[in-house]
Amino acid sequence: MESKNTGTCKVAKKCGGCRYQGVPYKEQLRIKQKQVERLLKPYGKVSPILGMEDPYYYRNKVHAVFGRERSGAIVSGTYQAGTHKIVNVDDCLIEDRKSGEIIRTIRGLLKSFKIWTYDEDNGSGLLRHVLVRRGFTSGQIMVVLVLASPILPSKNNFVKALRKVHPEISTVVINVNDQKTSMVLGRRDIVLYGKGYIEDTLCGCVFRISPQSFYQVNPVQTEVLYGKAMEFAGLTGKERVIDAYCGIGTIGLIAAKGAKEVIGVELNGDAVRDARTNAKRNEAKNIRFYHEDAGKFMVAMAETGEKADVVFMDPPRAGSDEAFLSSVIKLSPQKVVYISCNPETLARDLQYLTGHGYGVQRIQPVDMFCFSDHTETVCLLSKKVPV
């Protein structure tokens, strides 16, 4: 069953986020399948892409940039593709609807609280962005107000007014971003209300999500993706597993239930802190997390002659690097499960691994980003038997 409101988006052209607006969902899947096949067919057979039953309103994270039009009207939404002009967004077809409502409520409250939106050109004003994250399983909601300075006038009354309209909000955080930058978040978080994080459940594990941590934006398809990753790993309880680029520890913690030992490595300190808390929260005693560059960490492991049975790797869009991949070869795991959000860098990295003793067994695309042109793929490689 698809959601009722599936009309076309009024700002699709200006926003540019949904490349496939107006393209029937089945056709989108066909296009993505072809794209993955074009890049990855040389390495093995590509299984049919796993799509969503209902491809609307799937994003659990909604980000809106705030500003003013020449008329003085406050707008919130997204930057017009390739510019710094803000497109007002009222009903996005892929974002969580409740989160969108909260953003519109904030837009409506600003005037009476005399909170001015930030002006990128002259650096005046206060509110730059609002980020809302909702745990689809837990129902918990986090609102992050990204401000150009740490001081929000009448902050308690503002939170009260916001929670009066949306009592379901679990936590409100100020994030201070006082730099002239295109990055959304600054380094400093100040909790205004609640715990400063939310929790959500995936594949039977509970995860803490802080404002700065990476968390997959499509929770329904994330379960499909991780399910495939676990199926490919085929853990029996005896394995030593590495979860590289582990974020808040999602894949590693799910794997820990079926493995002897798991080692997670991640560059973002906040995510590592969340990962350690998540290990305690899920009573996983066979997992350790390291705060380091994944490539450097793997090189050090390989140099000390350590071994691993299964390596999960889930790098950002840029893919992995040679330091990491060459160390994988040295650590010599039986299986590598590569989860990728960019088939182009995946193809590049597969070329390296298949040139160094590994063969591709399975290639499974999963549609995590319906209507956009991004595609996620999970791929199983295993060590070739020497002849």
* 380 touching ligand SAH, by CB under 6 A: no
Least distance in Å: CB of 271 to ligand SAH? 5
* 216 touching ligand SAH, by CB under 6 A: yes
- The alpha carbon of 246 is separated from its chain's Cα centroid by a whole number of angstroms, namely 11
Least distance in Å: CB of 216 to ligand SAH? 5
Q: What is the amino acid identity at position 386?
A: P
**Is 9 one of the annotated active-site residues of the chain?**
no
Query: Which region, judged by CB under 6 A, interacts with ligand SAH, from 3-11, 63-71, 190-198, 265-273?
Result: 265-273
Q: Rounded CA gap, 344 and 339, in Å? A: 13
* 267 touching ligand SAH, by CB under 6 A: yes
- The b/e string for 35-57 (b: 16+ C-beta within 10 A; e otherwise) is bbbebbeebbebbebbbbeebbb
Q: Which residues 297-336 are close enough to bind ligand SAH by CB under 6 A?
A: 314-316
DSSP reduced 3-state for 167? coil
Terminal CA-to-CA distance of the chain, rounded, Å? 51
Residue in the block written with tokens 């493995």: 259
CA trace torsion 171, 176, 181, 183 (10° rounding): -20
Task: Choose which of 241, 251, 284, 347 interacts with ligand SAH (CB under 6 A).
Answer: 251
Q: Which is nearer to ligand SAH, 89 or 298 (CB)?
A: 298
Task: Choose which of 43, 66, 214, 352 interacts with ligand SAH (CB under 6 A).
Answer: 214
* 232 touching ligand SAH, by CB under 6 A: no
* 282 touching ligand SAH, by CB under 6 A: no
* 242 touching ligand SAH, by CB under 6 A: no
Query: Which region, judged by CB under 6 A, interacts with ligand SAH, from 76-84, 125-133, 160-168, 208-216?
Result: 208-216
DSSP reduced 3-state for 50? strand
Q: Which residues 141-180 are close enough to bind ligand SAH by CB under 6 A?
A: none
* 184 touching ligand SAH, by CB under 6 A: no
| CB-neighbour burial class of residue 359 (10 A; exposed 0-12, middle 13-18, buried 19+) | middle
| Catalytic residue set | 341
